Amino acid sequence: MSVSLTLVDLLAFNAVLIAAIAAPGAALLYFVKTTVASGRAAGIATGLGLGTAAALWTLAALLGLEAVFALFPWTYTALKLGGAAYLIWIAVQTWRHARMPLGDAPAPRGRAVLSGLLLNLGNPKSMLFAAAVIVVVFPQGLAPADIAVITLNHWLLELAFYAGFALLLDTGPARRGYLRLKPVLDRVAATLLGALGLRLILEK
Ligand X SMILES: NC(=[NH2+])NCCC[C@H](N)C(=O)O
Size of the site for ligand X (CB under 6 A): 12
Residue whose CB is less far from ligand X, 26 or 88: 26
User: Interface mask (CB under 6 A) for ligand X, residues 79-98, using x and -?
Assistant: --------------------
Q: Which is nearer to ligand X, 15 or 143 (CB)?
A: 15
CA–CA distance, 163 with 41 (Å, rounded to integer):
9
DSSP string, 68-99: HHHH-HHHHHHHHHHHHHHHHHHHHHHHHTTT
164 binding ligand X? (CB under 6 A): no
The alpha helices in the chain, defined as continuous H runs, are: 7-22, 26-38, 40-62, 66-71, 73-96, 109-121, 125-137, 144-169, 172-180, 182-202
CB of 27 to ligand X, least distance (A): 3
Rounded CA-CA distance 36/188 in Å is 14
- Partners of 142 in the β-ladder: 3
Is residue 35 a contact partner of residue 46, using CB atoms and an 8 Å limit? yes
Q: Which of 38, 46, 94, 120 binds ligand X (CB under 6 A)?
A: 120
In the region spanning residues 18 to 77, those forming contacts with ligand X, defined by CB under 6 A, are: 20-21, 23, 25-28, 50, 54
Rg (CA), the chain: 18
Shortest distance, position 58 Cβ to ligand X, whole Å? 8
C-alpha–C-alpha distance, residues 155 and 194, integer Å: 27
Nearest to 197 by CA among 34, 35, 53, 29: 29
- Nearer residue to ligand X within complex by CB, 50 or 113: 50
The closest residue (CB) to ligand X is: 25
How far is Cα 167 from Cα 148, in angstroms, rounded to an integer?
29
Least Å distance between CB 57 and ligand X? 8
The nearest distance, CB 111 to ligand X, in angstroms, is 19
**CB 89, min distance to ligand X, A:** 17
Rank residues 14 and 102 by Cβ distance to ligand X and give the closer one.
14
CB of 141 to ligand X, least distance (A): 25
Binding stretches for ligand X (CB under 6 A): 20-21, 23, 25-28, 50, 54, 120, 126, 158
